Structure 1
Amino acid sequence: MSRNSSATALSLPGTQGWDFGDYPYALEPLTLPHPGEPWLSDGTAGPQLEAACRELLTATDSGALVTPPATAAELERLFWFRWIVGHHLSFVIWRLVATRLEQLASGHGDRATAAREITAYVRAYSAMMLYTGSSTREIYNGTIRPSMYRMHSTFSGTWAADYAAVRGLFRGRRLPPVPVAEAADLEREIALGHRIHLGVAAKLVADGRSLLQHLVDKPPERQPRVWTSTFDCYFLTLRAPATGHEVLAQLLRRCKAVAMDLAANGLYPRVADYSGPTPDELCTPETLTCESEVADTVLRVAALATGCPPRH
C-alpha cells in the first residue's frame, strides 16, 4: 500500500458521497495496535473526531449521503464488502468494550456510565453479526466460506486476536462489576447476541448451528500465534502502532460506508434471492427489532465512540 493510500485509510471521512475505497463497496485495510498495546490512553476521542461525527450525522439525516444500490450482478461484491467491513467494525467494538472493562476493573470512571456503554457496544456487535450474515446462502457458500478454507482448512473466528479480552463477556461467563440496576440490560443484550450468532450460522450453513455450538463449548486448548496472523491477513487487518484518533477515524470511515450501503440496499437487498426458511432465532421480536435498527446502531456507535451527542 502506498503512503498516500495509507494516509487516506487513516483519515476522517468526508461529507460528500462515497469515499471508502476506490468505488462503492470497495475495501480498505484496517490498522490496529497489537492486543494489549495502548491506543486510547485518556479515554477521550478529542474535538476533531467529535466534529467529524457531527458532520456525518448531519449529512446522514439530511439525505446527502447517497450511493446507487447494488445490482444483482454486484451482489457478490456487496456481500464481500459487508463480510470484511462488518468484521472490521466488530474488531474496533471489541477494543472499545475491552477499554471499558479495564476501566471498571480499575475503579476509574462512573460504573453506571461504563455499564451502559458496554451494553450499547454489545448491541452493536449483534447488529454487525446480522450485517455480515446478510449474505444469501448461495454467495456465502460459493464465495465467502471457500475463501476462509483457502486460508486454512480449519479457519475459525476463535483466532481473532482482539476477541480474547472480551470472550468471557460475550459468552456470558463473566459479567463485569456493573451496578445491579444495569446488569439486567447487559445480560439481555449478551443473550440476544448469542441467539443471533446461532441463527446466522444456521441460516448460512447446513448444520451451522450445531457446528458453532461445538466451537463455543469446546474451544481449542492452544492457539498458535500464526493463527491470529492468518486471521488478520484474511480480514485485511494490519498490526502497527496506532493512536486513538487513527483507530476512531477508521471507525467513522466504516460507519459512514455501512450507513450509505444500508440506505441504498437495506439489510436484505431486494435483488437478492433469500430462499429457504428463516431460523427461529432470527424471527423473535428482539432480533427483528435489532435488524430494523442496524443503520441507527452503527451511527450510535460512531457517536458513542467519539463523544458526540447521539441522534434522537
Structure 2
Amino acid sequence: MMSRNSATAALSLPTALGWDFGDYPYALEPLTLPHPGEPWLADGTAGEDLTESCRELLTAAADGALVTPPATAPELERLFWFRWITGHHISFVIWRLIAARLEQLAAGHGDRAAIAREITEYVRAYSAMMLYTGSSTREIYNDTIRPSMYRMHSTFSGTWAADYAAVRGLFRGRRLPPVPDGEADALAREIALSQRIHLGVAAKLVVDGRSLLQHLVDNPPERQPRVWTSVFDCYFLTLRAPASGHEVLAQLLRRCKAVAMDLAANGLYPRVADYTGPTPEELCTPETLTCESELSDIVLRVAALATGCPPLH
C-alpha cells in the first residue's frame, strides 16, 4: 500500500528544476483519477499555483534547464517501460479533458470555436502520446511489454480503458461534435492522423499488428464486464478515488515535465536503442513526422492549455 507521504508527493506540483518524478529517472508514479462520470473540473479553472508551476516549467524548458542523464543501453527496458506507463497516464487525462469539452459543446456552454480548438489540440497531444508510448524497440515491446499485458489477462485490450468510452466516438471519426464549420476541417485532420498513427504503431511493434488492431476497431466486444476496466487500471497503476481538478492537473504537470526531460535527454528514438525492420508507411507521412519532431513542444502545450498558462513570449 502506498504511504500517505508517497501519495501526497504524487499529487503535488513538480519543482522547476531537476528530476522529481518517482524515486529516480524513469521511475513510475501511480495515477489517481475519479471514476468516469464523476465531476472533477467543477469550476473550470486550474488555479493560480498550477498556472505558475506550468509557467516555471515552460521557462525551464525554454532555457534548456530540463536536463537529466540519458539512458544507457542497459537502462532501455526501464526507459521504455516508463514511457509505456507514463505516456498512457497522460493519455487518460487527455481523454478526460476532451470529454469535459465535449460536454460543454453538447450543453451549449462557452465559446464553441475556442472549445473546438482545444479539442483539436488535445487530439494532437494524444497522437503524440501514441508515438511516445510506441517508441520502444520491437524486441523490448515483445519481450517485456506485451507479455506483461498477457500475464494480466490473455485478451488484454485497450478497449477496456474506462475513460476512453466518453471519447470513443470522436476518435473513430464517424461523427464530429457540433463545432463551428471553420474549425471542423482541422479537427477532422487531427482525428485522421491519430487513426493512422495508431495503426502505424501497431504495425511497427507487433507482427500483423495493423490487421489485429483494425479488426478490433471494426468488431468491438458486445459487452465489457466491469472487472475488465479494473484489470486495465491495475495494470496501468491507476487508482480510482475522489480527485479534484487541481489534483488531476498537478499529476498531468508532473508527467509532462518528466516526459519533456526524457525527450531532451534521449530523443524520441534513443541512439543506444536497436531499431530493426522497416518503418510502417503510416509513420513516414509528413504529418506524422511533423508530430514526431514537435513532440516535446506538444507535451508542453498540452500542460499549458490544461492549466490555463499563456505561452511564453
TM-score, normalised relative to structure 2 = 0.99
Runs of 5+ unmatched residues, structure 1: none
2 CA distance for matches of 1:209 and 1:122?
21
- Find the counterpart in structure 2 of residue 98 from structure 1: 99
Give the letter for the 1:251 counterpart: L
Give the letter for the 2:159 counterpart: T
- Displacement of 1:174 in angstroms is 2.3
Deviations 1:233-263 (A, max 9, x none): 0000000000000000000000000000000
- Find the counterpart in structure 2 of residue 79 from structure 1: 80
- Find the counterpart in structure 2 of residue 119 from structure 1: 120
Deviations 1:35-85 (A, max 9, x none): 000000121111111011001111111122210000000000000000000
1 CA distance for matches of 2:24 and 2:84?
17
1 CA distance for matches of 2:71 and 2:89?
21
- Find the counterpart in structure 2 of residue 184 from structure 1: 185
Contact 1:127/1:294 (8 A) holds in 2: yes
2 CA distance for matches of 1:247 and 1:311?
23
1 CA distance for matches of 2:179 and 2:44?
18
Listed as ranges, the matches of 1:156-175 within 5 Å are 156-175=157-176
Same amino acid, percent of matched pairs: 87
Q: Matched residue pairs, number?
A: 312
2 CA distance for matches of 1:278 and 1:37?
41
1 CA distance for matches of 2:133 and 2:286?
20
- Displacement of 1:311 in angstroms is 4.4
Contact 2:59/2:312 (8 A) holds in 1: no
Listed as ranges, the matches of 1:45-64 within 5 Å are 45-64=46-65
- Find the counterpart in structure 2 of residue 217 from structure 1: 218
Give the letter for the 1:193 counterpart: S
1 CA distance for matches of 2:102 and 2:66?
34
2 CA distance for matches of 1:58 and 1:258?
16
Which runs of 4 or more aligned residues in structure 1 lie more than 6 Å from their structure 2 counterparts after TM superposition? none
Contact 1:199/1:282 (8 A) holds in 2: yes
Contact 2:99/2:166 (8 A) holds in 1: yes
Contact 1:300/1:311 (8 A) holds in 2: no
Listed as ranges, the matches of 1:236-275 within 5 Å are 236-275=237-276
- Displacement of 1:292 in angstroms is 0.4
Over the residues paired in the alignment, what is the CA RMSD in angstroms? 0.6
2 CA distance for matches of 1:310 and 1:215?
39
Give the letter for the 2:251 counterpart: Q
Give the letter for the 1:232 counterpart: D
Contact 1:50/1:306 (8 A) holds in 2: yes
